[in-house]
Amino acid sequence: MDDDQFDSALIGSAMAQAETLGWRHVTVAAAAREAGLALDLARTRFPHQASVLVRLGVLADQAALVDDGSTGTVRERLFDMLMRRFDVLQQYRGGVQTVMRALPFDPALVVMLAFETRTSMAWMAQASGLDTGGLAGSLRITGLVGVWLQTLRAWERDDSPDLSGTMAALDRALDRAASLGRFLGGRLSPPPEITPEVPVDAVDPDGLGLEGLGPDEPFAPGPVISPG
């Protein structure tokens, strides 16, 4: 069993415990025993209860960031990546829903997950081609965090087999983010084929500040965030 298989097995066991017993009763040791996993390795890879959620977020990011060779607008890439994250959460749906219900009673967990969510959305933004530099870039990431949280609430209620409700909610959230973009300022770096002689309005005719979320904006790869 490699590390990824070990992590998936422990996360699955912990999420099953959460669904049955409630999140506050989940322990890494009990999840490891239930899954028949070595306790010493569990201690190394999951030092505390919240590590389960951190690692689940990383697995969701890895699935979202897989390069499948597809092309499209920045908005389309964001849509696809965020839905791939939901596909991972769907595997642990009952446990994740339990964690979400526990959040109002665990402020420390809320703070930790807020930090992890922002890190994830920074990866999504840069992988999609959005410029995340400076204040305008920070606001773009904040906007994408809002898109994720709005859609997450819809996912929690979505019992359709194909997550059609979640997809519709994500589509609406991205549209709202695009409309708010005109107030955030900043622009994507122009793609290589655009020369200085091309008027800016020809690239962004609607003047959206968060251009990458507009339906007609071409994809422009952004820098990769360094690990850590």
Q: Answer whether residue 191 shows pLDDT above 50.
A: no
Structure letter (DSSP) for residue 161: T
Q: Look at 21 and 222; give whichever has higher pLDDT.
A: 21
Mean pLDDT is lowest, of 27-31, 100-104, 157-161, 198-202, for 198-202
- For 189, residues 6+ apart whose C-beta sits below 8 A from its C-beta are 131, 220, 222
Task: Name residue 43's amino acid.
Answer: R
Query: What are the backbone dihedrals phi and psi of residue 98, each rounded to the nearest 5 degrees, phi first?
Result: -65, -45
- Per residue in 106-118, pLDDT (tens digit) is 999 999 999 999 9
- Which SS3 state, helix, strand or coil, does residue 43 take? helix
Say if residues 98 and 24 touch (Cβ distance below 8 Å): no
How far is Cα 165 from Cα 145, in angstroms, rounded to an integer?
19
Give the pLDDT band of residue 181 (cuts 50, 70, 90): low
